[in-house]
Structure 1
Amino acid sequence: MARAAKKQTAKSAVKNKPKIVAVSDLTPSAQTNASLVARRDAAVPRGVASAAPIYAKYAENAELWDVEGNRYIDFAGGIGVLNTGHRHPNVVAAAKAQEDHYTHTSFQVVPYEPYVALAEKLNELAPGSHPKKTLLVTTGAEAVENAVKIARAATGRPGIIAFTGSYHGRTLLTLGMTGKVSPYKKDVGPFPADVFRAPFPSVRDGITVEDALIGLKNLFLTDAQPSRVAAIILEPVLGEGGYIPVPFEMMQALREICDEHGILLIADEVQAGFGRTGTWFAIEHSGVVPDLITVAKSMAGGYPLAGVIGRADIMDALEPGGLGGTYGGNPVACAAAMAAIQAIDEEGLLERSTKMGEHFRARFAEIGARSAPHRMWDIRGLGAMIAVEFVTDFESAKPDAALAKSICAHALKRGLILLGCGMHGNALRIMVPLTASEELIEEGLVIFEDALSAAVAEQMAA
């Protein structure tokens, strides 16, 4: 565990508030954020939550402007979708070029080369020397559902094992695998059968890797007969669960357990993939090769696209017509994905992610010691997939979700977009585009420290 240092130093007094920017095509619109909030409340279900009560008008790289002309630094990246930044010029150009030819035929009706080209590229990038094939769909949850379908068809088994704190989507099947009730699973059960939950290693809860593996083996004895389990699915870095990396020895042990029992190992890389952790896929850090990988989010640089990459023999388990979807592998999104992957490669964003992560860790340690001693409990992650966790004090380590929420609110007022995560809602995650400049990141960190100080002071005065 990498905890923030406790030594207190002088605090920077620099402040940065949202400002009207001089962009010729960015004049404030007739609509205000408040008027759009009112329209939204009347037209959109309240179950569709938004973290920030601002409405986007323009965005570029790691900056965003709302309809009133206010500027924000984006540390949320569309929930991990924008590793190559808002409107990467090559991604936009590739999408526009494809639109000049055709936007949709449905690959199941009239296929097209962009789907095939992207499948070839993903097969090349995925870990493992075995032959691979790729299915393209539209959303991360759809990818996970299809991975389960493929695993069940390939093994002839029904069971799926997921882990505490996991997040795999919002459909009923993926909610059954998701290991967090509120807000995702609340009031929408029952969930599909033959989905089992295993413990995840947790420093906070005193669950070691050995404890977690014992829990999995006990699950085999009590509920999940190994010979009826099709797959074990796990995020190499928990997303909504708090940006907690799976210990490498845990991942290696799971590979051995799967091989022993003929179970497939699925790596859910929807949030952790495409350079976020410093490698194409987060599981590469462990040296483990999974049987199936689910992908989405930053793969297409802002366009809706997802997929399942896997061993060719497993991917061919279903008969023709058993896989697909009307919009799956949309040609415009495929073109965008090829450009985004090329940008990650040519611009050195894997190396950039590693360096960015190191910088965030160091700066968060300084900021925590200076502005919130004994409150920033943990700084964790892989590469630039970083989270900071807040507690009421180091002695009790009681999660402080109220402080994390307050920091987000104060940051937004000052021009920084942040998102929370974690089982207790007391962590903040960093998903800033890997293309963001060092100057912009530092500007965002100065705002973060100012927001943290304000939130702590407000809490102490209450």
Structure 2
Amino acid sequence: MLRTPAAVQDAERHTAHNYHPLPVVISSAEGAWVTDVDGRRYLDCLAGYSALNFGHRHPALIAAAHAQLDRLTLTSRAFIHDQFADFCRELAALCGKELVLPMNTGAEAVETGIKVARKWGYQVKGVPAGQANIVVAEGNFHGRTTTIVSFSTDEDARADFGPYTPGFRVVPYGDLAALAEAVDEHTVAVLLEPIQGEQGVVVPPTDYLPGVRQLCTERNVLFIADEIQSGLGRTGATFACEQEGVVPDMYLLGKALGGGIVPVSAVAADADVLGVLKPGQHGSTFGGNPLACAVATEVVRLLATGEFQRRSAELGERLHAGLRALIGKGLVAVRGRGLWAGLDIDPALMTGRAACERLMERGVLAKDTHGSTIRLAPPLTITAEEIDHAVEQLAAVLAG
């Protein structure tokens, strides 16, 4: 007798229905593959929304976690622990920044970036108290706190969670003219995803990020890059911004930084930005804890080799070539960069949810978004043969 149906029902019975997961119950995993409670294996082409860039249970990351579990797991920031300095120093070097502020979740990193930008605006730029504004883009996804959903344009994420936090201006993504018009003397930051993940892996025009950088420099505004999904090797470079030759004033990092083991996020910037924070003004009990730092330091060291960025770039070409060949055969568009792709399925054929359900039946896990779009973000440890397998299964689904 299969265990999955009862396990799915049991989970649904005792949880708030804020997610609509596929009916698969995973019990173990290794590399790019997961196994359910009935022993069926699936190729994971979502990788925890990029939280599993290094695959499930990467040996170096598991070893770092085990070693730290035997020594020390938490101190709070009331004290300094022996893993903290290495993590902050090595992550700062990877980012080319002077300082790092460790947190836990991506949403915490975004909230931290917003607070730092406002404080910088008041203390450094000289914006009058309470007048700071931050410009963001339509289609954004930066998290789900009440402040962040206040500037979301996704009604599912935003509706019925008001009253909303003021101080944000929303402009079309990729539109430099609209951005320039929205920025005024009270603007403290422009907050953008270099590639919009939740929106369907939307890549902006090639001149967009360089134009944002130039505008922010000219107007004395911080450019904050939310690289929580796009960063740490996902697009074929350490950061998506660097593929356009752009260096933001602040990086927001998360997901893959925790190696798929613990939640780790961070804000990286120079001292003239992050230095505005003083003791007692911002913090997190678990932020920068020893276990998180031990794992995340190993993540930074894996990235420092450049191996995973190269794999993403090279295997990404293979993935996108295979997907583009399906345009006109059930796909109407393919977007993305590196091992990250958004696929628009012909809505007359099926929904994105239906496509993911049929892929699951064929042993491949993916996630839908916005109706007829699905996203692929396999671990950077995936092989060429596994990529070909995933594309073959998608082709079979589209062919009916």
Tell me whether the two structures share a fold, i.e. TM-score over 0.5.
yes
- Unmatched 5+ residue regions in structure 1? 1-29, 202-211, 221-225, 393-399, 455-462
Which residue number in structure 1 is paired with residue 87 of structure 2?
118
Query: What is the aligned partner in structure 2 of residue 293 from structure 1?
Result: 251
**Number of the residue aligned with 1:10:** none
1:257 matched to 2:215: yes
Counterpart contact for 1:51–1:419, Cα < 8 Å: no
In structure 1, which of residues 62, 80, 83 is the aligned counterpart of residue 53 of structure 2?
83
Alignment of 1:36-435 (within 5 A): 36-47=7-18, 49-106=19-76, 108-127=77-96, 132-156=98-122, 157=127, 158-182=132-156, 184-201=157-174, 212-220=175-183, 226-302=184-260, 303-346=262-305, 348-369=307-328, 372=329, 375-392=330-347, 402-421=350-369, 424-435=370-381
Secondary structure of 1:113 counterpart: coil
SS of match in other structure, 2:224: strand
Q: 1:137 touches 1:307 (CA, 8 Å); kept in 2? A: yes
Distance 1:37 1:56 in 2: 11
The answer as to whether partners of 2:64 and 2:295 remain within 8 angstroms in 1 is yes
Residue 386 of structure 2 aligns to a residue whose secondary structure is helix
Q: 5+ unaligned residues in a row in structure 2: which ranges? A: none
Deviations 1:143-194 (A, max 9, x none): 0000011111111142111101110000011112333222x11221221001
Between the aligned partners of 1:342 and 1:41, the Cα distance in structure 2 is: 39
Which aligned segments of 4 or more residues in structure 1 are displaced greater than 4 angstroms?
none
**Residue aligning to 1:395:** none
1:402 shift after superposition? 4.1
Contact 2:24–2:36 (8 Å) recurs in 1: yes
| Aligned-partner Cα distance in 2 for 1:167–1:401 | 27
TM-score w.r.t. the length of structure 1 is 0.81
Question: What is the DSSP-based 3-state SS (H/G/I as helix, E as strand, rest coil) of the residue aligned with 1:448?
Answer: helix
SS at match of 2:22: coil
Question: Does structure 1 residue 450 correspond to structure 2 residue 384?
Answer: no
For residues 281 and 87 of structure 2, the distance between their equivalents in structure 1, rounded to whole angstroms, comes to 21
What letter is aligned with 2:107? A
Give the TM-score normalised by the residue count of structure 2.
0.93
Q: Between Structure 1 and Structure 2, how many residues are aligned?
A: 391
Give deviations 1:185-208, integer Å, cap 9, x for gaps.
12212210011101113xxxxxxx
User: Which whole-Å CA distance do the structure 1 matches of 2:264 and 2:349 have between them?
Assistant: 32
* Structure with bigger gyration radius: 1
Which residue type is aligned with residue 160 of structure 1?
I
Query: For 2:238, what is the secondary structure of its paired residue?
Result: coil
What is the CA–CA distance in structure 2 between the aligned matches of 1:141 and 1:363, rounded to whole Å?
Answer: 34
**Is the partner of 1:265 in helix, strand or coil?**
strand
Does the CA contact (< 8 Å) of 1:162 and 1:178 recur in 2? Answer: no
Cα separation, 2, equivalents of 1:362 and 1:185: 36
Give the residue type in structure 2 aligned to 1:378: A
Matched-pair contact (CA < 8 Å) for 1:297–1:304:
yes
SS at match of 2:16: coil
Displacement of 1:259 after TM fit? 1.8
| 1:401 and 1:427 in contact (8 A); partners too | no
User: What amino acid does structure 2 have at the position aligned with 1:215?
Assistant: A
Q: Deviations over 1:307-334 (max 9, x none)?
A: 1001111101021121220110121121
Q: Is the 8 A contact 2:238 2:303 kept in 1?
A: no
| Alpha-carbon separation, structure 2, partners of 1:324 and 1:314 | 16
